[in-house]
Amino acid sequence: MNESEFSELVSSLTPHESAGTVNTYRNTVSISCPACDRPFDDLVVCEGEYDSLELSKVLDLCVTTVDDDVLLFTHQD
């Protein structure tokens, strides 16, 4: 994913949470995941060199990068 595609994607999502270098966005408009083409629930953007996530539920994840950031697309079903 390039920077332009990332900016367009994020502008269509709803900001949800921000904690340090980890930002979460909700997919309230059913955009398809770029990895699997299914709608995703949340986009988690990890901008730090090292980030830690504490998951409260079991999720399927699709992963890509933009520049040096890791993008996690979550799927609950």
CA–CA separation, 24 vs 29, rounded Å? 15
**55 falls in which pLDDT band (50, 70, 90)?**
confident
Q: If you average pLDDT over residues 51-59, what whole number do you get?
A: 83
* Total tally of structural domains belonging to the chain: 1
Task: Tell me the torsion sign for CA atoms 9, 12, 16, 21.
Answer: positive
CA–CA separation, 42 vs 13, rounded Å? 9
Phi, psi (5° rounding) for residue 6?
Answer: -60, -45
pLDDT at 58: 82
pLDDT at 38: 95
Q: What would the two tokens of residue 77 be? A: 């079903």
The range of the structural domain enclosing residue 33 comes to: 3-75
- Are the C-beta atoms of 42 and 16 separated by less than 8 Å? yes
Q: If you average pLDDT over residues 37-48, what whole number do you get?
A: 95
pTM beyond cutoff 0.75: yes
